[in-house]
Structure 1
Amino acid sequence: MANPLMISTRSGNTASALVGRGSYSPSQPANQKARRGSPSLRLTLKIRAEAMVTEKLGIKVERNPLESKLSELGVRQWPKWGCPPSKFPWTYSAKETCYLLKGKVKVYPEGCGDEFVEIAAGDFVVFPKGMSCTWDVTETVDKHYDFE
C-alpha cells in the first residue's frame, strides 16, 4: 500500500490523500458505480484544521475554535449578552473572554486612530483589562462572556 501524500499549508492545516490503483475520468459521473474488475480510484482525505489565534491592537481573536475547547472552558454555561446594531464607547474594567454566537462588530481601540478589529459569529475573543474602545455593532450581536 502506498504512503499517504501529505499536504501542509502555511496556516497549519494539513491534508493527506491515499491513492489506490486505477484512474479517474472527470467526464465519468461521480455517482457511477465502478464495474467489477474495472480500474478504480480510492481517495481518502484526512483534514485537520487548527484554529489560528491572531492578536491585533491588543485584542486576541480565535476564529472557529474547536467545540472541545469551548466545552472544556464551559463557554455555553457563561452568561449571554446581546444588542442590536449600535455604536457606543466601552472600557474593560476586567479581562473579558467572549464567544460570539451571532453578529458582527468593529472594535476601535482608543488611541489607534481609524484602526479596528472586526469580530463575528464563531469568534472566541479576549479583551484586555483596561482597554477603552468604541464598539460599532453592524449586525445584531449575541455572545457568551466571562470576566476575570
Structure 2
Amino acid sequence: MATEKMGVKIQRNPPESKLTELGVRKWPKWGCSPSKFPWTYTAKETCYLLEGKVKVYPDGYAECVEFGAGDLVEFPKGMKCTWDVSEAVDKHYNFE
C-alpha cells in the first residue's frame, strides 16, 4: 500500500509482480554517493531503490520524506526539493 507525504508517494517493499508489471528492471539506472543537492522534477519520476537511504526536503516544507532500499517512490512533475543522500544510492528510474 502506498503512502503519500508532501506530494511524494512511497510504496515500501512492493511485490515483485508490481515491479514486473511496471517494467522496473528494464528502466535505466542511476546512482550517487552520499551528498546533498537541489533538484527540480521537469516530469513525473517513478524510481525503485536497490540500495541507499535518502531524505528529500520539498521546497516550502520544514519536514522531509525518507525512503530507502526496497522502496518504490513517485515524485510529481514540478516538485522542487533538496536530496540528502546518507547512504549511496543505486536506483532504477522512469520519467513520464
* Alignment TM-score > 0.5, same fold: yes
Matched residues in 2 for 1:116 and 1:58: separation? 11
Structure 1, residues 88-112: CA drift from partner, whole Å, max 9, x if none? 0000000000000000000000000
SS of 1:72's equivalent in the other structure is helix
Write the distance in 1 (CA, Å) between the matches of 2:19 and 2:12.
Answer: 12
CA distance, structure 2, for counterparts of residue 111 and residue 89 of structure 1: 13
- Is 1:79 aligned with 2:25? no
Partner of 1:101: 50
Q: Which residue of 2 aligns with 1:134?
A: 82
How many residue pairs are counted as aligned between the two chains?
A: 96
Q: CA deviation at 1:68?
A: 0.5
Please say which structure displays the higher CA radius of gyration.
Answer: 1
Aligned position for 2:39: 90
Q: Provide the secondary structure at the position in 1 that maps to 2:48.
A: strand
Paired residues for 1:10-21 under 5 Å: none
Gapped regions of structure 1 (runs ≥ 5): 1-51
Alignment of 1:1-148 (within 5 A): 52-113=1-62, 115-148=63-96
Deviations 1:72-122 (A, max 9, x none): 111000000000000000000000000000000000000002x00001000
- Cα RMSD after superposing both structures: 0.4
Larger strand percent: 2
In structure 2, distance between residues paired with 1:128 and 1:72: 20
Aligned-residue identity in percent: 76
**Which 4+ residue blocks in structure 1 deviate beyond 2 angstroms?**
none
CA distance, structure 1, for counterparts of residue 37 and residue 9 of structure 2:
21
Structure 2 residue runs of 5 or longer lacking an equivalent are none
